[in-house]
Chains A and B, each alone.
Chain A
Amino acid sequence: MDLLRRPPLPTFRSALHEPRTAVVIGRWLGAALLTCFLTGLLSHLLQQPPGWLRDHLPSRPVDGYRVTQGLHVISGIAAIPLLGAKLWTVYPKLFEWPPVRSVPHALERLSIAVLVGSMLLELFTGLLNTLQWYPWPFPFRQTHFWLAWLAVGGLLLHIAAKAPLIAAHWRRVRPGLAQRRSFLTAVTVSVGVVTLTTAGQSVPWLRTLDLFAPRRPDIGPQGLPVNRTAAQAGTTTAPADWQLRVDGPRPLRFSLAELSQLPQFSADLPIACVEGWSAGARWTGVRVRDLLDLAGAPAGAGLRVTSLEADGPYRVMEMPSSYAHDPLTLLALRVNGEVLDPDHGYPARIIAPNRPGVLQTKWVTRIEVI
């Protein structure tokens, strides 16, 4: 039986490699990951709604996407120290001997490998995406989406496998371990510090503490950040003969001057980016539903909006009826009292409540009633 003799594997001295510590940190991590997963799923549904859902997406609350996507990035960043602490706590389990005791045990270990591998890559790609940094060969959005299902599936299997252990250590046994208390304090402080120094990109009252977030909501042209600049989109100068084409039962064309002659409305709406940052501004322009009425669109009509940009996955955007008829949804010509900067979509852009920033089409040239 020499084969089964334990090789010189590392030994661990800390008293904290034990179930109660793993359960406490696991609960926090589980909450963060579940928040991250659900808000991420919502973001995918809002960006690319399946047919059956498209007409039921609500345009309210105005700040809905701002809050959920802000939470997505906040919970993802909070999960980084939590995952680190959790994996350190259970690290000795990696060296358990014999490595495999039975078929279920082998499957459990395999599912943990899938869980940890997908979770590490998920947090890594998510963090780097907020910086628009893509050093890997695969597409970000699709990989981040599918890995999330693998990670959460692995998490559920892990909870199922460990359920008796989790239940046995769910409640605190007094007296508590002093070391554990100080370790959990250190982990809590870590989560607090990384949250406070990054959440300012989406939480206005934390803005002054924004030290490490890739955005500051007040830095950018006209005091607003930009996801894609006019130079990147090739729309730095709008064509001199720019006209807005509205294709509906009554086709219309408007020059910029004619658009500004139409009744103007203002709305305080946030730009809320899928990368987690958000910034509020006061937008002024023509109500989209007024344009729909002028074009003779039937009740319940949606829109297809086309941008001047030559390419890009969001050049053409579809807007369901609920957003198109919301009185706050504007074809904006001005922001915070000034004519739009080219980076914000001059001559005209869409701004709607409760929608991902990539769907707030800039440099609009055509609106079709669909």
Chain B
Amino acid sequence: MRTFRALLIVAGLALTGFGLYGVLTDHYIDFADHPFDVLRWAVGGLLLHDGLWLPLVCLAGLAVARSTPVRTGLIVAAAVTAVALPAVLRAGQHNGNPTVLPLPYLRNWLLVLAAIAVLTTIWTVLARRRRRAGEHP
């Protein structure tokens, strides 16, 4: 275990150092003249995720996601939204290349959210019925 950890640390430091060296010296990134370009986006992402998104998730967990079906539905809906939202926002903007973003993304997104809502509702009703059946056999 000790050797394994030591190897991981050496490799981790080497890769981190290599990445840092690349970010700092790549002349397209031009860190010397634009030191805050990448930094601002990396730190900004961290702050938005940990300072805004996760508190919202935790609040949603306290306020609405009380049952397993609702919690599952919200998790899947959040995942779908994270992946689909850029396409929904960007639909139609293809810089003159109509083969980029050719689908009706807003419609597809709403359809998938609706499907998740329907399945969550069915699951909730079934679970409630099963519980009631258990209470009054």
Given A80-B79, A133-B90, A187-B75, A157:B12 Cβ within 8 A: yes
Q: A153 contacts the other chain (Cβ, under 8 Å)?
A: yes
Q: Give the contacts of A43-69 with B (CB-CB under 8 A).
A: none
Q: A242 contacts the other chain (Cβ, under 8 Å)?
A: no
**Shortest Cβ distance from A139 into chain B, in angstroms?**
4
Residues of A within 8 A of B97 (CB): 132, 226-229, 232
Q: A19 contacts the other chain (Cβ, under 8 Å)?
A: no
Interface residue count on the B side (C-beta < 8 Å): 65
Q: B16 contacts the other chain (Cβ, under 8 Å)?
A: yes
> Out of A117, A141, A156, which one reaches B8, CB within 8 Å?
A156
Residues of A within 8 A of B71 (CB): 182-183, 186
Q: B83 contacts the other chain (Cβ, under 8 Å)?
A: yes
Do residues B19 and A148 form an inter-chain contact, with CB atoms below 8 A?
yes
Given A132-B97, A136-B37, A232-B96, A153:B18 Cβ within 8 A: yes
Residues of A within 8 A of B105 (CB): 211-212
> Out of B78, B102, B103, which one reaches A84, CB within 8 Å?
B78
Q: How far is the CA of A114 from the CA of B38 in the complex (A)?
A: 12
> Out of B20, B49, B98, which one reaches A120, CB within 8 Å?
B49
Do residues A186 and B13 form an inter-chain contact, with CB atoms below 8 A?
no
**Shortest Cβ distance from A321 into chain B, in angstroms?**
29
Do residues A194 and B99 form an inter-chain contact, with CB atoms below 8 A?
no
Q: How far is the CA of A189 from the CA of B109 in the complex (A)?
A: 16
Given A150-B16, A153-B13, A190-B75, A131:B95 Cβ within 8 A: no
Residues of B within 8 A of A228 (CB): 97
Do residues A124 and B15 form an inter-chain contact, with CB atoms below 8 A?
no
Do residues B79 and A157 form an inter-chain contact, with CB atoms below 8 A?
no
Q: B46 contacts the other chain (Cβ, under 8 Å)?
A: yes
Interface residue count on the A side (C-beta < 8 Å): 82
Given A153-B16, A232-B95, A117:B22 Cβ within 8 A: no
Q: Give the contacts of A205-222 with B (CB-CB under 8 A).
A: 210-216, 219-221
Do residues A189 and B76 form an inter-chain contact, with CB atoms below 8 A?
yes
Q: A97 contacts the other chain (Cβ, under 8 Å)?
A: no
Q: Bits for B38-63, please: 1 = Cβ < 8 Å to A, else 0.
A: 10011101100110001001100110
Q: A306 contacts the other chain (Cβ, under 8 Å)?
A: no
> Out of A12, A94, A138, A187, which one reaches B38, CB within 8 Å?
A138
Q: How far is the CA of A80 from the CA of B20 in the complex (A)?
A: 24
Residues of A within 8 A of B20 (CB): 150
> Out of B19, B90, B93, B101, which one reaches A150, CB within 8 Å?
B19
Q: A322 contacts the other chain (Cβ, under 8 Å)?
A: no
Please name 30 pairs of A and B residues whose Cβ atoms are closer than 8 Å in the assembled complex, sorted by A: A81-B75, A87-B49, A94-B50, A117-B43, A121-B38, A131-B86, A131-B87, A131-B101, A133-B93, A138-B37, A139-B28, A147-B23, A147-B42, A153-B14, A153-B15, A160-B9, A160-B12, A163-B4, A189-B72, A189-B75, A190-B76, A190-B80, A191-B79, A193-B112, A212-B80, A213-B103, A214-B101, A215-B99, A216-B103, A228-B97
**9 shortest interchain CB distances as A-B pairs:** A149-B19, A153-B15, A153-B16, A156-B12, A190-B79, A150-B19, A146-B22, A157-B12, A160-B8
